[in-house]
Each structure stands twice: as C-alpha cells, then as structure tokens.
Amino acid sequence: MKIFISHSSKNANYGQAIVDLLVAIGVNSEQIIFTSNDAFGIPTGQNIFNWLKAKITEKPHVVYLLSTAYYSSIACLNEMGAAWVVENEHTMIFTPEFNISSYEFQNGALDPREMGFKINNHDRVVELIETLRRTFPISTNAVLVGQKIREFIEKVNSFQVPNESLPINKSNVEEPKALNEWKKSTAQKIYNNFSILEQQFFKSMINKSGVFEAQRVPPSSIKTFIEKDIIVNTENGLKLTELGRSIWMETIFIS
C-alpha cells in the first residue's frame, strides 16, 4: 500500500512537511505519492491523468490536505471524486486557516461528520501515525518519533497563514464553479456505469420527493450510495438524502 497526499499546489509547503515527517519516521519514499515533489511524483513521460487514475485505483491511503485552495481546484476535486468512488482508506487534514463550516466542505463528497483534524494538532498527528503503523514500517523508537512530530508541528506553525478563513454560506455566494463541475462530471461517470435497471431505479429515486418504496432489493451499485449516506434506509423504503439530491439533481441525465 502507498500513501497518496491529495493537495493543492498552493499548499505544497504543508504537503512537503507531511512527506518529510513520514520519511523521517520510517515510511519508505517509494510508498509516498506527492505530485509537488518530483522525487515522489509522476515519472517523466507518463500521462498525468492516467498515472494518477492508476495509482488511485490501487487503493492507497489517501491523505486529503483540505483548504480553500483545494476546493477551488478542479484537479483536486477530480482526485477527491476518483478516490471517493473506489472507497479508499483516507484521512482528512485541514490547513490552519480552513473553516470546516464552509459550504464547500459541508456539501462536498467527503462526509463532514467524519473526524478530521487541523495539521498543527499534535495529538491527532500522533493518532494518525499510530493508524499508519498498522500498514507502514513506522519506527518503534518512541523518542525519535516524538522528536519528529514536534519538529513537524513547529514547521507547519511557522508557515504564513493566508486570509482564507471566512465562512462561505450558500445564501450569500454561489457554489464554487469547480465544485459544481466536479459534482456533475462525477455523477455522470457513476451513472454511466449503471445497468439499465439501475439507471431507471436511481432516476426514480431522484425524481420522487420523500421516500421511494422499492419493490425489490436495491441493485448492488445503489448499496454503495447507501453506505455513503447518499441514500438512507427508512422504515418505508429508501430515501435520497439532501447530499445525494444536491449532487445528482443538476446533472444532464435528469429530465
């Protein structure tokens, strides 16, 4: 398994700090994917998108380095969508200025109820390392690991924080174009992979308000969306959540 650091190039300093920490505590450099550093990025001569797609489908542990810049980048949102579809193990890390109440985060693909943490939270960084230890060759030298974590926290705290922390509310600003385009393109790709029966089933759920009373067990593809809170089970049947409706209702296949 590898660790893929999904990030905006504007946050490359934070991403490099994560890479430096991982290498310092024992993770092999060949197990890290970080496209802002040639030593950990895309090999010369490779098609960028095909290479990234192949790496994501290998199911690495994805570290989402989330920021305002991340949600403003179509490339970042495409990475997020690709990893979300194949259900990669992941960790959400927020840059210090990022507001988790922002409209982008609360209405994006990642579950905002899932626990993430600010990159300069010492205790959470320790917890992440212990999680990675189950899969990666983390040093057993507690003193060394502790020193490297402290150095990491000092480094990220030294970075200048941009003024990006103001909350974004749907009521006073339009949804960022990149996020909206990601929703549409990802929804269309997923929908195109459905069988005819699954397409009919899913369109019925989206076009109906309230609960859709299924006459049969939902197709296998639908179960994925149940697990991701796009669709929820109720006493009377299946119901599309507001998150699900917001993602799919504007795509071109809805009449």
| Catalytic center residues | 79
Spatial CA neighbour of 10 closest among 75, 99, 101: 75
Three-state SS at 6: strand
In 3D, which of 3, 43, 1 has the Cα closest to residue 23? 3
- At position 245, the amino acid (one-letter code) is R
* CA 207 – CA 254 distance, rounded (Å): 8
Measure the CA–CA gap between 9 and 92, rounded to whole angstroms: 17
Give the β-pairing of 61-66 and 3-6.
Answer: parallel
E strand segments, 12-127:
32-33, 61-66, 90-94, 117-118
| Sequence-distant (≥ 6) Cβ neighbours of residue 136 within 8 angstroms | 1, 3, 22, 26, 27, 28, 31
